[in-house]
Structure 1
Amino acid sequence: MTTLYKRFADRIGAILNELEATGALPAGIDRRNVAVEPPRDPSHGDLASNVAMVLAKPAGLNPRALADLIVPKLAELPEIEAASVAGPGFINVRLTDGTWRDELATILSSGAEYGRSTVGSGTRVNVEYVSANPTGPMHMGHCRGAVVGDALAALLEYAGYAVTREYYVNDAGAQVQTLARSAHLRYREALGETIEIPEGFYPGDYLVPIGQALAAKFGSKYVSAPESEWLDTFREFTVEKMMDMIRADLALLGIHHDLFASEAAVQKAGKVDAALERLRGEGLVYEGTLEPPKGELPDDWEPTEMTLFKATAFGDDSDRPVRKSDGGLTYFGTDLAYHAQKAEGADLLIDIWGADHAGTVKRIKAAVQALTGGKVPLDVKLVQMVRLLRGGEPVKMSKRAGNFVTLADVVREVGKDVVRFTMLTRKSDAQMDFDFAKVVEASKDNPVFYVQYAHARGRSLHRRAGEAGIDVAPAADLALLDAEELALVKFAAQFPRIVEGAAAAHEPHRIAFYLYDLAAMFHALWNRGNDDPARRFLLADDPETTRARLALSDAIGQIIRNGLGVMGVAAAEEMQ
């Protein structure tokens, strides 16, 4: 849909075309940086534009002089009540009340489509998120990245992008070998042996059923067999079962991926060798040694020749090894090839990583730039860990999971919607506390409750209107809405713009922030009836005003539903 702000940007564009046609403005000036947006101070009007500030210099005009050419033509438009020049050349516009009433009607008629955008123009985006090692059930360390990635994918789709949700399965390397050995112990246990889990193995009880499944499938065949006979078989079986568990855990959060890419498959298909040889042909992979560590050298340090990627050519701090001195791949080597594979089907790559991977961002961005010739950008969103509390006290760990709190346990206790909304109440790179007591608290300080309560309050109006005998079928006379109520419409009308801005910045938390502010304005409007009964939304003796206020409430409820839908959260019909 075309936003109100885009419509008025088009109006300004038409005025600029007129000025060009008359020779008052040179033709062909770049207009891409012209913006129409809400002013920071609402007292300045409803819309503000930098058009004169941006175009004055290339036009060879004074900004105020150019603004003075534009403002009279804006003032002629029937939707505009007043237009003026401020400061060095900013243009402020005040719209008529009728324009805002029309926008309210648009919200109501557009319904679930209000806010949906085509700004993405079908751009193919691969969003990779979660990608936890398949060595245990999902825990709360994975939860925030999972929600951020899933909400971002939904946001981008809502804004017109073509999105692929991808999970990278780290099923190669030492960790999954250790997982297989841990499963072998549980397999022996299932066959009646008393086992002891060595240091470094996975101790969680979640491997018990996998051991039992292995015992049922293979009997005692591999109890005493050498590791070389069962390790690969047990690894593949256990990884498959762990991924089933992970998918089930993610489903509790409403998360489903389109594609599961295997690290082992990337290696087996020769993708790594192909990527490295391609880069070698461009002089970006070579045999060499790294610079010694800065500061005092370790006693055992000596220069070792390795296969290196020339990451410094793309802004990294040093070149990076892709093969070790023994010929084995580094994790970066496989990751480099995996990103080349993703880029084959995408115009943009987005990775959601834990903040502990911050040190690898530069190198993988350098690799993607080298492999795509800079044609496929990579954006890495870092996600900080979540600290779990209960009434301010740290939460005890779970024996079943192996010394961590499982995502499934948290979702079952507080619910999917609470978990998802809470994970988006702060920027992803900011620290977060998740307090079981706070996230279910019925207070303004709990954003989940506050937004849901606003929606439930609006829904209750229909029930109460029916009980009061008010016929809500006739069309509402929106002219009965007062200035405060229209101020809420003005803020509601920013939703499509918020969606586009959040999508462009890859920041789904902006939706949560906006919904909280919208809910706060709605609650404030509702609460004015506490002091003045005539200002209540429901007036039993005034059905016309009630219908107008009910229309406003329905529009706010619609936007809350639309925003929550992007976040993967269901809107509450009533508060329990």
Structure 2
Amino acid sequence: MNLFTEMRALVIDALEAMQAEGVLPDGLDFKNVAVEPPRDPLHGDMATNAAMVLAKPAKMKPRDIADTLAGKLAEDARVEVAEVAGPGFLNMRLSATLWQGVVKAALEGGKDFGRSDMGAGKKVNVEYVSANPTGPLHVGHTRGAVFGDALASLLDFVGYDVTREYYINDGGGQVDVLARSVYLRYLEAHGQDVAFEDGTYPGDYLVPVGEALKDKVGDAYVGKGEDVWLADVRLFATDAMMDLIRADLKALGVEMDVFFSEKSLYGTGRIEGALESLESKGLIYEGVLEPPKGKKPEDWEPREQTLFRSTDHGDDVDRPVKKSDGSWTYFAPDIAYHYDKVSRGFDELIDVFGADHGGYVKRMKAAVSALSDGKVSLDIKLTQLVKLFKNGEPFKMSKRAGTFVTLRDVVDQVGADVTRFVMLTRKNDAPLDFDFDKVLEQSKDNPVFYVQYAHARVCSVIRKAEEAGIAAGDEVLSAADFALLDHEAEITVAKKIAEWPRLVEIAGRTNEPHRVAFYLYELASELHGLWNKGNDDNSLRFIQDNVATSQAKIALARSVAVVISAGLGILGVTPAQEMR
């Protein structure tokens, strides 16, 4: 039940009636006609821009269109008042029965209230985390993991067929460094003293990997050259790191559908095949790039390389895919990987990258556009840095990683639910401060607590009602007399519930799951506000002497919990049944 969609349909019907009567000319395009909350709630419940967007194509004054449209809308029983403001804005106040009906719809819809078919079953691939398999996930990966996972759940909620994917960067030289690091731990397990030099990874997380390698091969690699052990240790170490990463993700509540190996692209003809596809479209050529901005001419050595004509698809400069020595650039396997995704039949692709990948956005979008002939869209979301604080001071904790704070460090400190919610309290491209003390604080200033407390309060009301002999199951509550919800404070809560279906569609359309977290805080605030009013006005308390009145009021509270539970489900957070 989307009241905004319903009222927009009413506006369109009225406009079409005006056309039939000759008030408006035929052939007008109504696609930009919107119905949304007014900027100032004092102006009404909903507003439409119809007169403003149709005035120019209709060659009429906005006010003249609005006056006639207001009269048409006022004829509908759902509209109590339709008022024209300013040059032609039209505000509507709706009947209380509409808002009361939202409570019933929420209870009957349950966990599916607000679900949408907006995505129409389109296949969308969301790739996120995709950390190098060289160590445990750090706090930056944590934000990308939470954002990507919540986005995937959001898109599923609004009707997309979603695949969650992790791209394993196991094709580059960093995995050789990992193998050498594990080999040092392997030697250490054999009692040797070792030194971590040449960029090898010193983190303690590799100690058990070295010991496991010893258990597997004994002393077979001791004193041997890399030609003997590098390939085997590389594979062993990568598998061990991916086991660690999977366990970290599971601790955060993240499960992938697909793990795709970069290494599988090498030596299989898949990189060549992707580039041949681009070459067949005239987009691959041999050339010399201009020197990078900021480089002095004497520092620049022009070299002929194999280039992708990415400027034909919106990039600033063409990009090299093969170096002058014949080896692939980093961009080449990424093109092949996205070609594979396009070939798998996805309608839309979403990549979640860290903030340091900003320079990769245009070239990757150009590649997907070229590979799919513009038929597959790519949206790249960048997640900004997370700054950790404890006791008001910058917090740097490093138990196992050697150089950074791990995902497990954060989850062990505050739990997965708190971690996930807090990571979504800012838009993905805005920096985020994560204060270990504040996120556990029980106050209105802590959105995690405030939303969970609202859900727990509703659960408490239902328990107390049942203890008092008042039936409070969803089936009973959905049959309550909602006309008893006639106080302005109760209608205000119902109005906020009514925003949910519209909110999730907007969030899904813009790929912005943080909107869900913001909305849940606002909804929780309305519930807490109603609760506090009940402390001064007994008629607003959820449990009354009259059973029918109690059930109507409990139904309102329960509908809030239904929406909070659905929203937290999208965010990957478990709703609290009680606060401790």
TM-score range, shorter chain: over 0.9
* 2:501 maps to which of 491, 496, 501: 496
SS in 1 for 2:380: strand
Q: CA offsets per residue over residues 516-568 of structure 1, 9 Å max, x none?
A: 011111111111233334433333x3444332221111111111111111111
Separation of aligned partners in 2, 1:416 and 1:164:
22
2:322 aligned with 1:316: no
Q: Which residue of 2 aligns with 1:64?
A: 63
Separation of aligned partners in 1, 2:12 and 2:136:
55
For residue 553 of structure 2, what is the amino acid of its counterpart?
R
Separation of aligned partners in 2, 1:189 and 1:110:
60
Q: Which residue of 2 aligns with 1:278?
A: 277
* 1:573 maps to which of 554, 573, 577: 577
Separation of aligned partners in 1, 2:510 and 2:43:
27
Are the equivalent residues in 1 in contact too, given 2:291–2:297 (CA < 8 A)?
no
Q: Identify which range, 375-384 or 76-85, moves more after superposition.
A: 76-85
Q: Which residue of 1 aligns with 2:555?
A: 551
Q: Which residue of 1 aligns with 2:117?
A: 118
Separation of aligned partners in 2, 1:337 and 1:520:
48
Percent identity between matched residues is 57
For residue 330 of structure 2, what is the amino acid of its counterpart?
Y
2:518 aligned with 1:509: no
Q: Identify which range, 237-246 or 22-31, moves more after superposition.
A: 22-31
2:535 aligned with 1:530: yes
- 1:399-410 → structure 2 map (5 Å cutoff): 399-410=399-410
TM-score (norm 1): 0.96
Q: CA offsets per residue over residues 140-194 of structure 1, 9 Å max, x none?
A: 1210000000000000000001111110000011100101111111122223322
Q: Which residue of 2 aligns with 1:353?
A: 353
SS in 2 for 1:164: strand
Q: Which residue of 1 aligns with 2:383?
A: 383
TM superposition shift of 1:266: 1.8
Distance 1:219 1:107, change over 3 A: same
Q: Identify which range, 512-521 or 2-11, moves more after superposition.
A: 2-11
TM superposition shift of 1:470: 4.3
Q: Which residue of 2 aligns with 1:364?
A: 364
SS in 2 for 1:152: helix
TM superposition shift of 1:204: 1.1
Q: CA offsets per residue over residues 352-390 of structure 1, 9 Å max, x none?
A: 110111111111111111211211111111101111111
How large is the RMSD of aligned CA atoms in angstroms?
1.8
Distance 1:551 1:365, change over 3 A: same
TM superposition shift of 1:496: 0.5
Q: Which residue of 1 aligns with 2:397?
A: 397
TM superposition shift of 1:236: 1.3
Q: Which residue of 2 aligns with 1:305?
A: 304
SS in 2 for 1:268: coil
Are the equivalent residues in 1 in contact too, given 2:102–2:497 (CA < 8 A)?
no
- 1:448-487 → structure 2 map (5 Å cutoff): 448-470=448-470, 472=472, 475-481=479-485, 482-487=487-492
TM superposition shift of 1:280: 2.4
TM superposition shift of 1:471: 5.0
Separation of aligned partners in 2, 1:561 and 1:277:
49
TM superposition shift of 1:26: 3.2
Separation of aligned partners in 1, 2:396 and 2:17:
69
- Structure 2 stretches of 5 or more lacking a match? none
SS in 2 for 1:84: strand
SS in 1 for 2:292: coil
SS in 2 for 1:25: coil
- 1:336-347 → structure 2 map (5 Å cutoff): 336-344=335-343, 345-347=345-347
Q: Identify which range, 157-166 or 29-38, moves more after superposition.
A: 29-38
For residue 452 of structure 2, what is the amino acid of its counterpart?
Q
SS in 1 for 2:115: coil
Separation of aligned partners in 2, 1:225 and 1:471:
75
For residue 445 of structure 2, what is the amino acid of its counterpart?
D
Q: CA offsets per residue over residues 222-279 of structure 1, 9 Å max, x none?
A: 2233212221211111111111110111001110111111111122332221222222
SS in 2 for 1:122: coil
For residue 280 of structure 1, what is the amino acid of its counterpart?
E
Separation of aligned partners in 2, 1:521 and 1:368:
44
- 1:75-474 → structure 2 map (5 Å cutoff): 75-295=74-294, 297=296, 299-344=298-343, 345-470=345-470, 472=472
SS in 1 for 2:389: strand
Separation of aligned partners in 2, 1:276 and 1:569:
42
SS in 2 for 1:485: helix
Are the equivalent residues in 1 in contact too, given 2:107–2:559 (CA < 8 A)?
yes
Separation of aligned partners in 2, 1:295 and 1:405:
34
Q: Identify which range, 452-461 or 56-65, moves more after superposition.
A: 56-65
* 1:561 maps to which of 559, 562, 565: 565
TM superposition shift of 1:8: 1.4
Q: Identify which range, 82-91 or 249-258, moves more after superposition.
A: 82-91
Q: Identify which range, 48-57 or 346-355, moves more after superposition.
A: 48-57
For residue 354 of structure 1, what is the amino acid of its counterpart?
G
SS in 2 for 1:291: coil
Distance 1:479 1:185, change over 3 A: same
Separation of aligned partners in 1, 2:54 and 2:272:
51
Q: Identify which range, 161-170 or 196-205, moves more after superposition.
A: 196-205
Q: Identify which range, 352-361 or 504-513, moves more after superposition.
A: 352-361
For residue 501 of structure 1, what is the amino acid of its counterpart?
I
SS in 1 for 2:578: coil
